[in-house]
A and B are shown apart, each in its own frame.
Chain A
Amino acid sequence: MQKPNAIAADAITAGAQPPARSWLSKALEGRNTLGGLFMLPAAAVLLIFLTYPLALGVWLGFTDTTIGRPGQFIGLENYEALWDDTVFWLAVFNTLLYTSVASVFKFALGLWLALLLNERLPFKAFIRAIVLLPWVVPTVLSAIAFWWIYDAQFSIISWALIQIGLIDAPINFLGDATNARASVIAANVWRGIPFVAITLLAGLQTIPQSLYEAATLDGASSWQRFRYITLPMLTPIIAVVMTFSVLFTFTDFQLIYVLTRGGPVNATHLMATLSFQRAIPGGQLGEGAAIAVAMIPFLLSAILFSYFGLQRRRWQQGGRDA
């Protein structure tokens, strides 16, 4: 151990100033620099894997790039062409119909299932695991199963109904425009319910039992308990779940591609499938990108609605905006 006067001697030797630190060590000790440095890897990942592809997609939408040929900047020409393209507008209509109808059903059935699963049930864990199955099975696999279920000649539904004697000929599930839309929506709902149900179930389990007990003591009916306790407490979760659900549904591709490839006569073409069809088999990368970019405003409005609408405290508490 050094003696105190020895330390003083050292300090004199080194001069009256404290030891000079390099600019690097100074910078590294700075809170902002260090924070920035720690965020760099994440920022790089975001830039490379999210921002760049998105920006490239947006840029391609302004060019006439085709497969194998770099394109020229053509401004809004792709969008002008799409504006006059009835197939594009049909795909927009289909996408909105598909998303809105499927989302409503997924929400209603998912919430119902979550409420059921929240009750005291025998084999609760097992049943919950089973419920998740449609979500776990790869989409392509379940789509192929639905393809058989909806087959024009070999549908099991048609077969069963014919056996019972309710119908004479197989149902034209995917050949008729209305039937085809209903069929693909039903398949999407089947697949999407577990996600909504299990997430809402998690939300339900965070609601304190004491609230229900108090409400019961006050004489609240089961509808009132649902309306004034469950629903407001669940709204933040609903907002998040439904935002995701709407986004997944709006951008659905695999189900349509396997079941109908957009047919019959484009009745089930979604913006995502049309974008792929034009960009890859059709070779028009620029136009395909423009269709994909045209999805962004819809997706953004869904997100904004969720964040600025559903998450408002007033709405959650059952009130209205002033």
Chain B
Amino acid sequence: MTKFTRRDALKLGAGATAAAGLTSMFGAAPAAAQDAFTPEAGASLRVLRWSPFVKGDEESWIANTKKFTEKTGVEVRIDKESWEDIRPKAAVAANVGSGPDIMFVWFDDPFQYPDKLLDVTDLAAGLGKKYGGWYDGPAAYATKDGRNIGLPLAVIGNAVCYRESWVKEAGFSEFPKDTAGFLELCKALKAKGHPAGFPHGHAVGDGNNYAHWLLWSHGGKTVDESGKAAINSPETIAALKYAAELYKTFIPGTESWLDVNNNRAFLAGEIGLTANGVSLYYAAKNDPKLADMAKDIRTTAFPVGPVGKPVELYQTTSTVIFKYTKFPKAAQAYLQFMFDDAQMNAWIQASSGYCCQTLKAYAANPVWTADPNHAPYAKASEQLRPNGFAGPLGYASAAVMGDYVLVDMFAEVVTGQRTPEEAAKRAETRINRYYKV
């Protein structure tokens, strides 16, 4: 039997008022979808996001949020945390069932607590339909068993950053497109006193990006489709041998590098080449003292290895709504609003190429052609390959990355602690522990 209480009547009345306000907001969207995401009466939201890497991102996100509050009356509080602290905070929120309503999370975080996340399949389907569909790579990080446990928000592209004059000085008129040519370039740069530098330390972002590029570009993979360890392969050995050769062209000390070290070394002119998000270029561009360097900086995609196509890990961030939220509809209405073209395009543009779109329609955003150095970051979502390739995303893939298994495997070889064969065998043992073989 269905009871209809006074409280329900009040809710209905307030809901209807809010729905009237939202009609103008969502334009010609189907009536059913509008009702589905009508904020609850008296709703307020708390969003926890990662601290911005480029200033424009945060300003634009806050401005868009303000517009949402003005239109719906839903107050939204935005908190931020250092990006590395997001995983523990999200884990605690999921475990204790209390905290922010919406969170920006990283990589396979949603797969660590899928049962605690609100199913947003309808919202994702509506947005996908409206904006040309989602890119497969980022979508994989937010989809489990065909249901959306989050909305892929952005891919933080990673590209090789180099000094054009030094590359020319090293005898290369254009940047090599393949791994063999890349090694030759790095050797020539080193000979000219401009070594390369990629982190072999426990650098969460840059270290994992580099290690995955090395492995995947040579055709290696951590596990096969069934989740069985496949790391101990001739492809991995080839990747390890290549890494050892490339390491010889590096500046000393990269085994200890964390995420910020390559930025510092590059901006100080100590290295001629590294890989980073577009923030590195902007650090130089926004500093009057580094104006000459900024003019000399060029960015390009990672060279393609024997595998024949670009495949990158990249940092992927998704928005999730926790099931414990008291205002699931307001939360979905908020995300729907933020992903709509007026807001999303403004945000992508304000992020200056740092955040790559996850919905295909936004590939036409003018930011990607505004500066030639933005171009390599435009294809991040297209080239992205999910962590734990070729196996399923889940606890094991997250744990293998969290435990720096690949980063350590390459570091062991380049520092001469183990032979490539020993390192691959050891990585296999470590991977097997997580995939419970």
> Which A residues have a C-beta under 8 Å from some C-beta of B?
66-69, 81, 85-87, 150-154, 169-170, 172-177, 180, 260-266, 277-278, 280-284
Contact = CB atoms under 8 A, between A and B. Distances in A.
In the complex, which of the residues A68, A85, A261, A278 has the most CB atoms of chain B within 10 Å of its own CB atom? A68
A153 B257 CA distance: 10
B221 interface: no
Nearest to A265: B411
Contact of A264 (B94, B201, B204): B201
Contact of B257 (A87, A152, A176, A177): A152
B255 interface: yes
A153 B266 CA distance: 11
Interface of B: 87-88, 91, 94-95, 112-116, 200-202, 204, 251-258, 261, 264-265, 268, 270, 395, 398-399, 402-404, 408, 411-412, 415, 417, 426, 430, 433-434
B207 to A, nearest CB: 9
A283 B112 contact: yes
Contact of B91 (A261, A263, A264, A283): A283
Contact of A175 (B95, B254, B265, B408): B254
A264 B255 contact: yes
Contact of A282 (B94, B261, B402): B402
A79 to B, nearest CB: 13
B393 to A, nearest CB: 12
B268 A262 contact: no
B253 A265 contact: no
Contacts of A173: 256
B113 A261 contact: no
A68 B91 contact: yes
Nearest to B203: A261
A226 B296 CA distance: 67
B34 to A, nearest CB: 32
Contact of A278 (B94, B255, B265, B402): B402
B253 A278 contact: no
A277 B430 CA distance: 14
A225 to B, nearest CB: 47
A126 to B, nearest CB: 37
Contacts of A67: 91, 94-95, 112-113
Nearest to B405: A87
B395 A283 contact: yes
Given A152-B254, A175-B255, A261 B87 contact: no
B317 to A, nearest CB: 16
Contacts of B264: 151, 153-154
Given A67-B94, A68-B95, A68-B115, A263 B255 contact: yes
A181 to B, nearest CB: 12
A175 B253 CA distance: 5
Interface centre among A177, A260, A284 (most CB of B within 10 A): A284
Contacts of B417: 177, 265
Nearest to B400: A282
Nearest to B202: A261
A170 B195 CA distance: 15
A265 B399 contact: no
15 contacts: A66-B395, A68-B94, A68-B116, A69-B395, A153-B264, A175-B254, A175-B256, A260-B202, A262-B404, A263-B411, A264-B200, A265-B255, A265-B411, A265-B415, A281-B88
A282 B399 contact: yes
A261 B258 contact: yes
Given A170-B252, A172-B256, A263 B87 contact: no
B320 to A, nearest CB: 11
B348 to A, nearest CB: 28
A6 to B, nearest CB: 67
B112 A68 contact: yes
Contacts of B251: 152-153
A264 B200 CA distance: 8
Nearest to B408: A265
A28 to B, nearest CB: 39
A175 B411 CA distance: 10
Contacts of A280: 87-88, 91, 402
**Nearest 3 interchain pairs by C-beta:** A68-B113, A152-B253, A282-B402
A260 B403 contact: no
Given A151-B261, A264-B200, A284-B399, A172 B426 contact: no
B202 A153 contact: no
A282 B402 CA distance: 4
A152 B270 CA distance: 11
Nearest to A180: B256
B210 to A, nearest CB: 14
Contacts of B257: 152, 175
A263 B261 CA distance: 14
B395 A262 contact: no
Contacts of B270: 153
A272 to B, nearest CB: 15
Contacts of A85: 433
Contacts of A260: 201-202, 256, 258
Nearest to A70: B95
B258 A264 contact: no
A304 to B, nearest CB: 33
Which of B114, B202, B254, B402 is most buried by chain A, counting CB atoms within 10 A of its CB?
B202
A81 B432 CA distance: 11
Nearest to A278: B403
Contacts of A266: 408
Given A67-B91, A264-B411, A278-B402, 20 more contacts: A66-B395, A68-B91, A68-B94, A68-B113, A69-B395, A85-B433, A152-B252, A172-B252, A173-B256, A175-B252, A175-B254, A261-B201, A265-B408, A265-B417, A266-B408, A278-B399, A282-B402, A282-B403, A284-B395, A284-B399
B327 to A, nearest CB: 21
Contacts of A150: 256
A93 to B, nearest CB: 15
Contacts of B398: 282-283
Best-surrounded residue of A86, A152, A280 (most CB of chain B within 10 A):
A152
A173 B417 CA distance: 17
Contacts of B433: 81, 85
A284 B397 CA distance: 11
Contacts of A153: 251, 253, 261, 264-265, 268, 270
A67 B408 CA distance: 24
A176 B261 CA distance: 16
Contacts of B395: 66, 69, 283-284
Contacts of B404: 262-263, 277
B273 to A, nearest CB: 15
